């Protein structure tokens, strides 16, 4: 990392543009989320075809996934790939084309869903396939650009962060193709593909890129190498081998072959290996630096991301057991889990990356107050959200097991739905602050020449 | 460059292999599962209804998969692989914010109920949080020839004119009516067969301690009766037993429910009803048969609950009477 290319202006503007677009998608997606949370208490609110819950639900998830998280992670990925390779971005033009394609896909997908055009209520692949082809094109452009950038590296080695970023991008191209080809997706065959897809689209796309960002940002901010390079490599390969096999655990007790479900459960346990390997690697990198941690919001964001990775993924393993699926499957517990992971891991890693790296790129920083507001509202909001749905979901499941009338489980959820809305509102408010912070980091006036020293100064003052 | 090829190319090859093994191969294999006995493709109208269901994301709150678990018995028999041959896109779903709909055509055969519920769910289920789909209906001055207006309770009806379904709503309700599980081809069939005394496959609650024997002892389990009534009856007859004016008959003060001879009452619950007259009012709706879904003890608990609630004073019954009625030839 000694041979950093100073002043790659093209890279900086690409990084800023991706971050700004992602932020706008985050505001939109979570604004829709708030509206939906409200509908659980006031189902008559916002009646009509365009605002009906069943159309907003996929708009919320897809805009979060393919608008916010994908665009943000690709922007970070470009920056990490170029800087860790000590090379210039291969092609700013390709990066701009990719950004345009990502945005066109997310916009067209959102409009299509709201008009009632979808390819089925198939989680995370509701967009009509033509639109998903646009997303695939964006991925392929990104993959080529990233590979070509890393190929320009000055050193012989490829830094670990790039393994995850390059791998995740290319694997996701395969996932997208598998999801689109229709020949093996009839009836129950499509259920098998759904199980594979809904899990892999999350865990082989967002997780590797988020981990890649952490592998670069954490050592960079702490100014010390990653605890164990070998452990990172080990986690990379085990994650690659185990993760693709566990998708069917989303369809336990379904008519999918019982052996397929059992294999998925077994490998869900195996996932503890890369998850604990990866998170302990991060935690051991932070060892003895608690003071640095609590005085640096970028590091705090990453710390929460790492802890969510550890807790959320371990929870995922436990959830896969049949005895626990019997209680939690089809309840709101699953919604809590998906927010603990997508929000707790991915969004926090993204924010840690952006707060840590964007000031290095632009030389402009967000205020500590802005980062503090964002961090605490997001953390407390997410905590309330996940806790209320976990408790409520458990009650829902027990209601069913006790043979109570179904409507009882709806009634029992009411207060937890309210708390979910409270948590969600805090999360949404934090995103508004985040948008303000992004503005300051991209276009603000508070210039800092050496952000790392500023970090130290903060610490000294505190 | 070599290292780049190894990491990127190698991991992508490995991933492609796993994706083929875990995504494509099961897909190929399971796409070929033949339809089970009685599993039929949808009619054109029902297929349109399914498209409405998919377009509006009904599948995000309603599953269409019955698991082989006790708690899922209320929704029907466990789903089998051969049930899904004609179901593309698949609608198994991942959340049950609302109930499972695999067998809703059997569980709730009344299209009148479905129309009221779709227009305004809270008109029939006050605690429901399902969105209103009133935008799938039109308000007109008079129902066109050959079409009946939706008999909404006055609190939910428009101040002027009547409500009629659009073609989309008609298709959707036709689709819901078509969601019926064919009986298992292998096992002994549904519990409607004469002489069934054990809990039928769809019995809605596991027998609590001594419930089967205890029901014969005269006193009935009021909590169980109330719970079963909520699960099976109150969607139409309402929690207060008053039904819905013009749509579903009241049980409160109902002659059959208060009759000293409970034979007719038991018969209606076991066999269902189509078009009836209660208190001088004609009800055109359909009441489902509960013979296959409820055990004798469950039916007795429901009937006793109905006969002792809302000021009713019918004589109470025991499970044996239900068994006797069940044994009669239809």
CB contact under 8 A, B84 and A191: yes
Q: Is residue A303 part of a domain?
A: yes
CB contact under 8 A, A123 and B94: yes
pLDDT at B246: 81
pLDDT at residue A4 above 70? no
Do both B217 and B260 map to the same domain? Answer: yes
Do both B290 and B233 map to the same domain? Answer: yes
Q: Is residue A79 part of a domain?
A: no
Residue B236 DSSP symbol: H
Closest-CA residue in chain A for B73?
A: A403
Average pLDDT of the segment spanning B52-61: 97
Q: Residue A327 sits in which domain range?
A: 289-451
Q: In a mutagenesis test of the A interface, which of B9, B18, B22 is the best target, namely the one with the most A β-carbons within 10 Å? A: B22
* Nearest beta carbon to residue A147 from set B8, B15, B22: B8
Q: Is residue B293 part of a domain?
A: yes
CB contact under 8 A, A185 and B27: yes
Do both B232 and B173 map to the same domain? Answer: no
How far apart CA B110 and CA B96 sit, in angstroms, is 22
How far apart CA A229 and CA B138 sit, in angstroms, is 66
Residue B165 has φ and ψ, to the nearest 5°, of -75, 150
Closest-CA residue in chain B for A40?
A: B129
Question: Number of structural domains, chain B?
Answer: 2
Q: Is residue A239 part of a domain?
A: no
For residue range A190-199, list pLDDT tens digits in order: 999 999 999 9
Q: Is residue B26 part of a domain?
A: no
How far apart CA A456 and CA B123 sit, in angstroms, is 63
Q: In a mutagenesis test of the B interface, which of A247, A254, A402 is the best target, namely the one with the most B β-carbons within 10 Å? A: A254
Do both B125 and B218 map to the same domain? Answer: no
Closest CA to B80 of B181, B177, B180: B181
pLDDT at B201: 41
Question: Number of structural domains, chain A?
Answer: 1
Q: Is residue B5 part of a domain?
A: no
Q: Is residue B30 part of a domain?
A: no
Q: Tell me what percent of the residues of chain A surpass a pLDDT of 70.
A: 95
Q: Is residue B320 part of a domain?
A: yes
Closest-CA residue in chain A for B135?
A: A48
Least confident of A170-184, A198-212, A279-293, B253-267: B253-267
CA dist B49 → A31, A39, B136, B307 (Å): 31, 25, 12, 39
Q: Is B63 on the interface with A (CB under 8 A)?
A: yes
pLDDT at residue A6 above 70? no
CB contact under 8 A, B88 and A147: no
Confidence band, pLDDT 50/70/90 cuts, at residue A461: low
Q: Is residue B12 part of a domain?
A: no
Least confident of A386-395, B59-68, B273-282: B273-282
CB contact under 8 A, B97 and A251: no
Do both B222 and B136 map to the same domain? Answer: no
Closest CA to A189 of B230, B22, B324, B299: B22
How many Cα atoms occupy the beta-carbon half-sphere of B18 within 13 Å? Answer: 26
How far apart CA A249 and CA A329 sit, in angstroms, is 10
pTM: 0.90
Residue B58 DSSP symbol: G
Residue A183: how many other CB atoms lie within 10 Å:
10
Do the beta carbons of residue A388 and residue A427 sit within 8 Å? no
A237 vs B contacts (CB less than 8 Å): 11
CB contact under 8 A, A121 and B91: yes
CA dist B310 → B10, B226, B229, B258 (Å): 73, 12, 13, 11
Do both B167 and B254 map to the same domain? Answer: no
* Nearest beta carbon to residue B86 from set A39, A187, A247: A187
Confidence band, pLDDT 50/70/90 cuts, at residue B192: very low
How far apart CA A373 and CA A369 sit, in angstroms, is 6
Q: Is residue A440 part of a domain?
A: yes
Do both B99 and B216 map to the same domain? Answer: no
How far apart CA B48 and CA A159 sit, in angstroms, is 54
Q: Looking at B183, B202, B236, which one is the last position of a domain? A: B183
CB contact under 8 A, A171 and B15: yes
How far apart CA B32 and CA A185 sit, in angstroms, is 10
* Nearest beta carbon to residue A55 from set B15, B56, B86: B56
pLDDT at residue B77 above 50? yes
Q: In a mutagenesis test of the B interface, which of A33, A117, A121, A148 is the best target, namely the one with the most B β-carbons within 10 Å? A: A121
pLDDT at residue B216 above 70? no
How far apart CA B45 and CA B43 sit, in angstroms, is 6
* Nearest beta carbon to residue B30 from set A192, A335, A406: A192
Q: Residue B252 sits in which domain range?
A: 211-327
Q: Is residue A271 part of a domain?
A: no
Q: Looking at B167, B183, B199, which one is the last position of a domain? A: B183
Q: Looking at B136, B167, B183, which one is the last position of a domain? A: B183
Task: Evaluate the CA torsion angle B174, B175, B176, B179 in order and state its sign.
Answer: positive
Q: Is residue B8 part of a domain?
A: no
Do the beta carbons of residue A207 and residue A170 sit within 8 Å? no
Q: Is residue B225 part of a domain?
A: yes
Q: Are strands B162-165 and B273-278 parallel, antiparallel or unpaired?
A: unpaired
Residue A7: how many other CB atoms lie within 10 Å:
9
Q: What is the mean pLDDT of chain A?
A: 94
Q: Which CATH number characterizes residue B308's domain?
A: 1.10.760.10
Q: Is residue A325 part of a domain?
A: yes
pLDDT at residue B208 above 80? no
Q: Is B61 on the interface with A (CB under 8 A)?
A: yes
Q: Is residue A143 part of a domain?
A: no
User: How far away is chain A from the Cα of B111, in angstroms, using its nearest Cα?
Assistant: 20
Interface of B with A in 230-249 (CB under 8 A): 230-231
For residue range A42-101, list pLDDT tens digits in order: 999 988 999 999 999 999 999 999 999 999 999 999 999 999 999 999 999 999 999 999
Do the beta carbons of residue B62 and residue B96 sit within 8 Å? yes
How far apart CA A319 and CA A325 sit, in angstroms, is 6
A408 vs B contacts (CB less than 8 Å): 230
For residue range A418-453, list pLDDT tens digits in order: 999 999 999 999 999 999 999 999 998 766 545 455
pLDDT at residue B215 above 70? no
For residue range B137-162, list pLDDT tens digits in order: 999 999 998 888 999 999 999 999 99
Q: Is residue A102 part of a domain?
A: no
């Amino acid at each position: 990392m000694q041979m950093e290319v100073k002043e790659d202006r093209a890279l900086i503007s690409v990084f800023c543009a991706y971050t700004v677009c992602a932020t706008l998608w985050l505001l939109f997606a979570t604004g829709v989320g708030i509206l939906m949370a409200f509908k659980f208490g006031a189902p008559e609110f916002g009646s009509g075809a365009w605002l009906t819950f069943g159309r907003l639900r996929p708009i919320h998830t897809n805009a979060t996934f393919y608008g916010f998280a994908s665009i943000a992670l690709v922007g970070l990925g470009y920056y990490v790939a170029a800087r860790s390779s000590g090379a210039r971005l291969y092609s700013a033009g390709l990066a701009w084309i990719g950004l345009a394609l990502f945005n066109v896909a997310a916009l067209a997908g959102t409009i299509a869903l709201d008009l009632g055009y979808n390819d089925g209520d198939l989680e995370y692949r509701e967009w009509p396939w033509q639109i998903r082809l646009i997303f695939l094109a964006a991925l392929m452009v990104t993959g080529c650009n990233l590979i070509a950038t890393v190929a320009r590296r000055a050193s012989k080695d490829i830094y670990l962060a790039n393994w995850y970023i390059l791998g995740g991008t290319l694997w996701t191209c395969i996932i997208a193709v598998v999801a689109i080809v229709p020949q093996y997706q009839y009836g129950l065959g499509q259920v098998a593909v759904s199980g594979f897809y809904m899990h892999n689209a999350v865990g082989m796309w967002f997780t590797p890129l988020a981990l890649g960002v952490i592998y670069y940002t954490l050592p960079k901010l702490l100014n010390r190498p990653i605890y164990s390079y070998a452990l990172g490599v080990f986690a990379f390969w085990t994650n690659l081998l185990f993760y693709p096999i566990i998708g069917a655990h989303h369809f336990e007790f379904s008519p999918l072959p019982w052996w397929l479900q059992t294999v998925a459960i077994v490998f869900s346990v195996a996932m503890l290996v890369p998850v604990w390997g990866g998170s302990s690697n991060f935690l051991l990198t932070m060892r003895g630096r608690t003071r640095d941690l609590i005085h640096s919001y970028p590091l705090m964001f990453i710390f929460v991301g790492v802890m969510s990775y550890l807790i959320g993924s371990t929870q995922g393993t436990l959830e896969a057991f049949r005895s626990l699926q019997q209680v939690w499957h089809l309840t709101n517990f699953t919604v809590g889990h998906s927010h603990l992971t997508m929000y707790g891991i991915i969004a926090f890693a993204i924010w840690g990356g952006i707060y840590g790296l964007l000031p290095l790129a632009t030389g402009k920083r967000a205020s500590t107050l802005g980062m503090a507001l964002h961090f605490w509202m997001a953390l407390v909001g997410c905590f309330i959200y996940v806790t209320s749905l976990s408790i409520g979901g458990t009650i829902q499941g027990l209601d069913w097991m006790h043979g109570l009338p179904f409507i009882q489980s709806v009634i029992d959820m009411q207060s937890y739905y309210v708390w979910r809305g409270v948590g969600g509102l805090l999360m949404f408010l934090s995103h508004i602050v985040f948008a303000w912070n992004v503005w300051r980091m991209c276009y603000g006036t508070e210039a800092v020449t050496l952000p790392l020293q500023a970090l130290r100064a903060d610490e000294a003052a505190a | 460059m070599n290292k780049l090829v190894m990491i990127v190319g190698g991991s992508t090859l490995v991933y492609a292999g796993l994706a083929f093994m875990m995504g494509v191969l099961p897909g190929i294999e399971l796409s070929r599962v033949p339809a089970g006995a009685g599993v039929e493709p949808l009619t054109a109208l029902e297929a349109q209804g399914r498209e409405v269901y998919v377009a509006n994301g009904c599948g995000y709150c309603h599953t269409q998969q019955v698991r082989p678990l006790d708690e899922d018995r209320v929704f029907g028999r466990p789903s089998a692989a051969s049930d899904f041959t004609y179901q593309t896109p698949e609608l198994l779903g991942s959340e049950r914010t609302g109930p499972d709909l695999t067998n809703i055509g059997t569980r709730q055969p009344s299209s009148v109920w479905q129309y009221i519920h779709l227009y305004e769910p809270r008109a029939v289920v006050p605690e429901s949080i399902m969105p209103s789909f009133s935008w799938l209906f039109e308000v007109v001055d008079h129902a066109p020839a050959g079409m009946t207006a939706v008999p909404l309770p006055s609190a939910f009806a428009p101040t002027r004119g009547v409500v009629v379904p659009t073609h989309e709503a008609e298709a959707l309700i036709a689709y819901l009516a078509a969601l019926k599980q064919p009986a298992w081809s292998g096992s002994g069939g549904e519990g409607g067969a004469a002489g069934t005394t054990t809990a039928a496959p769809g019995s809605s609650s596991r027998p609590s301690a001594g419930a089967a024997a205890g029901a014969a002892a005269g006193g009935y389990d009021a909590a169980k009766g109330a719970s079963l009534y909520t699960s099976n009856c109150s969607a139409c007859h309402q929690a207060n037993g008053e039904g819905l004016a013009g749509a579903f008959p009241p049980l409160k003060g109902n002659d059959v429910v208060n009759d000293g001879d409970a034979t007719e009452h038991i018969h209606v619950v076991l066999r269902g009803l189509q078009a009836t007259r209660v208190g001088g009012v004609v009800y055109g709706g359909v009441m489902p048969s509960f013979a296959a879904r409820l055990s004798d003890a469950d039916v007795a608990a429901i009937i006793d609950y109905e006969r002792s609630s809302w000021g009713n004073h019918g004589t109470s019954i025991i499970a044996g009477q239900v068994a006797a009625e069940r044994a009669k030839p239809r």
